[in-house]
A and B are shown apart, each in its own frame.
Chain A
Amino acid sequence: MKRMWLLVGIGILVLGVGSLGADDVLVMGVTAEPETLDPHVTVDNNSWRAIYYCYDRLVEYEGGTTKLRPGLAESWEISDDGLTYTFHLRKGITFIDGTPFNAEAVKFNFERLFAIGKGPAGTFEFIKSVEVVDEYTVKFTLHAPFAPALSAFATDQGCIVSPGVMEHEVNGDWGQDWLAEHTAGTGPFYAAEWIHGMRLVLKRNDNYWGEPAKLAQVELRYVPEPEDLRMLLEKGEIDIAEKLTVDQIKSLKGVPGIRVFEGPSFSCHYIYLNCQRPYLNDVRVRRAISYAIDYEGIVDYIWQGTAVRMEGPVPIGFAEHIPVYQYPYDPDRARALLKEAGYEKGFTLRLMHSPVVPEWRQMAIVVQQNLADIGIKVQIESYAWATLRAKLDKGDFDMSFGYWTPDYADADMFTWFWFYSENWGLPGNRAWYKNEVMDDLVTAQRVETDPEKRQRLFEGIQWLAVSDAPYVYLVQTKYQLPMREWVKGYVYNPMLLNMPNFPDIYIER
């Protein structure tokens, strides 16, 4: 009897110990699962990471840049008044469900997007109407000229879904229930299997109209604990590990067989100074705070070199960015400004953060210390993510940490959203800041069709944004992605954060 159990045990060991992956299968370990696979429903980055490859868009980002290249549209024209966009579509493409791709399909997508009316619809608010000109030509009319419009079509929200999803419609849901679990696009991959809480498997679309993907399969394996990801990567059971902590990445550097990709990102961390609150409504106080913070210490000790200091509101790497004034760390000047404002005796402010970003708590402690030096007492408050957002939306805070990543590659993302006084609260102006000159500038750039004039407007905005100091511009993080050395062909695009170029990646052991 004993011997039998021993044999069973050995048998289990032999059978069970994992086999290494095949050469055309890539496993990426991720810490969060998609919410849904419907591109017209979700604005969640973790969902995009699965959805993006199963679809194509009218225009696409070119390699690792923010430039646009033709996608499902071969070419396009923009009218001189900036009000109509005409796209000429590629011919002979079919969706994975066999439905032909044409202008009607494009029109259907925008009808579906607006009928569902969830987050992604917000990205295309500028569209007034969509018109089928002929089978392969589609015309968009805008409410008003909107300079960043073209790049909106390259986002995940711009994924073109097959009209065939309507066969799965229940109770007038536009096929939402079905598309939450399936994909129906023209893209290089399709979702083949999703075991919730465990893994999502994308398989190659062998009938892809463009160059087929080199990998036959991409598995997104859900491993919520970063420490586990690190172990799995070291063992070679996963090929790419997403979202490791600063410490873990440090310990991975120099491990044979592993490389850590590093590139600049457009993910910015900053402090909102609520301009409607006492003390903070005085620009001298806001400037004093900007002078009082030890930026270098924050970059070196908290981010340990994985971030650079922001230079004004528009991130470095954006075409519209210009080098603007950076407040030096100068407590004496800060104290003088407070004195000038009549607050020699100091006062108390509250500072919100959320455990969602672990570095916020550490930065909060530094800021607390820095502001104490100039006589401002800071009470640090930690809130759950949803609560923090609710308080931001109501303006119920003094100061808060926050971060922002752009949806489309245009400085509009960092100016109109942040400074326009009608965007108070969650829409983007989280400092509850209002300056009429600024309002004019940020609305003018949206409709300016001459690139040079538009750039001049952006320059003005950036200087004014630093001078009025409604935010403390802290850091712009670097994107780091640890992977096995056998992963080849990876190209990073800062607009597609956490979304590797799976169709071009291959494995060479």
Chain B
Amino acid sequence: MIPTLFGVLLITFLISHVVPGDAAQLIAGPRATPEIIQRIREEYGLDKPLHIQFFMYISQVLRGDLGKSIRTRRPVGADIRAFFPATFELTTTAMLLAVLFGIPLGVISAVYRDRWPDHLSRVFSVIGVSMPIFWLGLLLLFLFYIRLGILPGPGRISGDPPAHLTGLYLLDSLLTGNWRALGDAALHLVLPAFTLAFAVLARITRMTRSSMLEALGQDYVRTARAKGLMERWVVTRHALRNALIPTLTVIGLSYGELLGGAVATELIYAWPGMTHYVVGSMTSLDFPAVMGVTLVIAIIYITVNLLVDLTYALVDPRIRY
């Protein structure tokens, strides 16, 4: 894990520093004198050679300090704490939606292979994989917000947010018993979570379907049926359990992807999340922010995939660590 993280940091550092452009100039603004620019360069250590800058950065990170954002002028750690809960809430809800709908759809699709439920779910999957999120988001907003008026517009909440405990609005409003905020936040979550879930849902459905098909053709399934088990048990207990491993892998990979790739969804729904923060940082060459976010996403990505590996053992007792 440590070498992986070091590698991630090194690559991000190099990429963000070979881009031509001068962060000091951006901070100073268009009318700044050369002396002002030079002073800023010194303040942020931008005048030092690249390897020294990298060394300085790493030793800072090891002390638990992610540095100070050039653009927002706040500590990167504080920025991430401010923006991360929104992204976490959105992606986790989206992932739950995708799993709750994706796996059953995949199972139904496999069981009814080449019959209409299968065709339907396949059409759905193809749409899901190929529809641009940006367009889907606008379409849903137009329908449910403008036309039907049953769901709220862009934003994370309309009224005042609940008292800050975790930064996750659903959890915070539950814990503080703020039912107005709970309803408000939950409704705001519906469209973005569904938009974000759609593509992953399609992928989970397809993966579940194909591995289910494979499992349903196995000898142990024939044996289970031969000994007269109910079809429902054959499908869920015998086939699905064996077919879940590839699906779990997809879930793990997709979750990391969602965390880092919810940009379009966050943009369309004015969601105050982290991916949007990082895009702003990239265009202004705010490398401490870019590095900090990359580091956090890498840690989460690695952790999630570690967890996924561990759940293999739960699903399949033959796997032991």
B153 x A235 contact (CB < 8 A): yes
Report if B2 contacts A (CB, 8 A).
no
Contact with B along A114-145 (1 / 0, CB 8 A): 00011111110100000000000000000000
Q: How many A-B residue pairs have CB under 8 A?
A: 168
Contact with B along A96-120 (1 / 0, CB 8 A): 0000000000000000000001111
Closest to A390 in B: B21
**Given the contacts A18-B152, A119-B27, A123-B31, A387 and B146 also touching, CB distance less than 8 Å:** no
A390 x B20 contact (CB < 8 A): yes
* Residues from chain B with Cβ under 8 Å of A42 in the complex: 29
* Residues from chain B with Cβ under 8 Å of A15 in the complex: 179-180, 182-184
Contact of B74 among A17, A180, A228, A232 (CB under 8 A): A180
Contact with A along B77-98 (1 / 0, CB 8 A): 0010011001000000000000
Chain B min CB distance to A275 (Å): 20
With most chain B CB atoms within 10 A of its CB, the pick from A35, A125, A177, A180 is: A35
Report if A358 contacts B (CB, 8 A).
no
* Residues from chain B with Cβ under 8 Å of A43 in the complex: 28-32
CA distance A228 to B86 in the complex (A): 19
Chain A min CB distance to B71 (Å): 6
A117 x B39 contact (CB < 8 A): yes
Contact with B along A435-473 (1 / 0, CB 8 A): 000000000000000000000000000000000000000
Contact of B159 among A18, A195, A235 (CB under 8 A): A18
Report if A234 contacts B (CB, 8 A).
yes
A390 x B22 contact (CB < 8 A): yes
Contact with B along A7-18 (1 / 0, CB 8 A): 000011111111
CA distance A195 to B85 in the complex (A): 13
Selecting from B232-240, B269-277, B303-311, the interface stretch reads: B269-277
* Residues from chain B with Cβ under 8 Å of A224 in the complex: 267, 270, 276
Report if A389 contacts B (CB, 8 A).
yes
Chain A min CB distance to B90 (Å): 12
Contact size range, A? 35 or more
**Given the contacts A17-B152, A232-B154, A119 and B32 also touching, CB distance less than 8 Å:** yes
* Residues from chain B with Cβ under 8 Å of A197 in the complex: 82-83, 86, 272-273, 276-277
Report if A36 contacts B (CB, 8 A).
yes
Chain A min CB distance to B280 (Å): 8
Chain B min CB distance to A170 (Å): 12
Report if B315 contacts A (CB, 8 A).
no
* Residues from chain B with Cβ under 8 Å of A232 in the complex: 153-154
Report if A189 contacts B (CB, 8 A).
no
CA distance A15 to B181 in the complex (A): 8
Report if B33 contacts A (CB, 8 A).
yes
Contact with B along A396-426 (1 / 0, CB 8 A): 0000000000010000000001000000001
Contact of B187 among A16, A228, A235, A390 (CB under 8 A): A16
* Residues from chain A with Cβ under 8 Å of B209 in the complex: none
Report if B1 contacts A (CB, 8 A).
no
CA distance A130 to B159 in the complex (A): 47
**Given the contacts A15-B180, A18-B158, A384 and B19 also touching, CB distance less than 8 Å:** yes
A12 x B270 contact (CB < 8 A): no
CA distance A105 to B126 in the complex (A): 66
A35 x B31 contact (CB < 8 A): no
> Restricting to B272-321, which residues have a CB under 8 Å from any CB of A?
272-273, 276-277, 283-285
Contact with A along B1-45 (1 / 0, CB 8 A): 000000000000000000111110111111111011001100000
CA distance A197 to B71 in the complex (A): 14
CA distance A118 to B158 in the complex (A): 37
Chain B min CB distance to A375 (Å): 31
> Restricting to A159-195, which residues have a CB under 8 Å from any CB of B?
176-177, 180-181, 195
> Restricting to A188-213, which residues have a CB under 8 Å from any CB of B?
195-198
Chain B min CB distance to A18 (Å): 4
**Given the contacts A35-B72, A389-B21, A16 and B267 also touching, CB distance less than 8 Å:** no
B187 x A225 contact (CB < 8 A): no
**Given the contacts A41-B73, A119-B36, A225 and B154 also touching, CB distance less than 8 Å:** yes
Chain B min CB distance to A107 (Å): 21
CA distance A389 to B72 in the complex (A): 20
Report if B138 contacts A (CB, 8 A).
yes
CA distance A36 to B284 in the complex (A): 15
Chain B min CB distance to A350 (Å): 15
Chain A min CB distance to B72 (Å): 6
Closest to B33 in A: A122
B146 x A198 contact (CB < 8 A): no
A228 x B19 contact (CB < 8 A): no
Chain A min CB distance to B130 (Å): 22
**Given the contacts A121-B36, A122-B32, A197-B82, A221 and B155 also touching, CB distance less than 8 Å:** yes
B25 x A426 contact (CB < 8 A): yes
* Residues from chain A with Cβ under 8 Å of B122 in the complex: none
A35 x B21 contact (CB < 8 A): no
* Residues from chain A with Cβ under 8 Å of B39 in the complex: 117
**Given the contacts A196-B83, A231-B145, A393-B22, A119 and B187 also touching, CB distance less than 8 Å:** no
Report if B131 contacts A (CB, 8 A).
no
Report if A386 contacts B (CB, 8 A).
yes
* Residues from chain A with Cβ under 8 Å of B159 in the complex: 18-19
> Restricting to B202-257, which residues have a CB under 8 Å from any CB of A?
none
A119 x B28 contact (CB < 8 A): yes
A225 x B25 contact (CB < 8 A): no
- A interface residue numbers (CB < 8 A to B): 11-19, 35-36, 41-44, 117-123, 125, 176-177, 180-181, 195-198, 221-225, 227-228, 231-232, 234-235, 237, 384-387, 389-391, 393, 407, 417, 426-428
The 4 closest A-B pairs by CB, nearest first: A197-B272, A119-B29, A43-B29, A386-B21
Report 23 cross-chain contacts, Cβ distance below 8 Å, ordered by A residue.
A12-B183, A12-B187, A15-B184, A16-B188, A17-B187, A18-B184, A19-B159, A120-B29, A122-B36, A176-B73, A195-B272, A196-B79, A197-B277, A198-B156, A223-B270, A227-B268, A228-B141, A231-B146, A232-B154, A235-B153, A385-B283, A386-B284, A426-B25
- B interface residue numbers (CB < 8 A to A): 19-23, 25-33, 35-36, 39-40, 71-74, 79, 82-83, 86, 138, 141-142, 145-146, 150, 152-156, 158-159, 161, 179-180, 182-184, 186-188, 267-270, 272-273, 276-277, 283-285
Other than the given A125-B33, A234-B146, A387-B20, 7 more pairs (CB < 8 A) read A16-B188, A17-B152, A35-B72, A123-B31, A177-B74, A228-B141, A390-B20
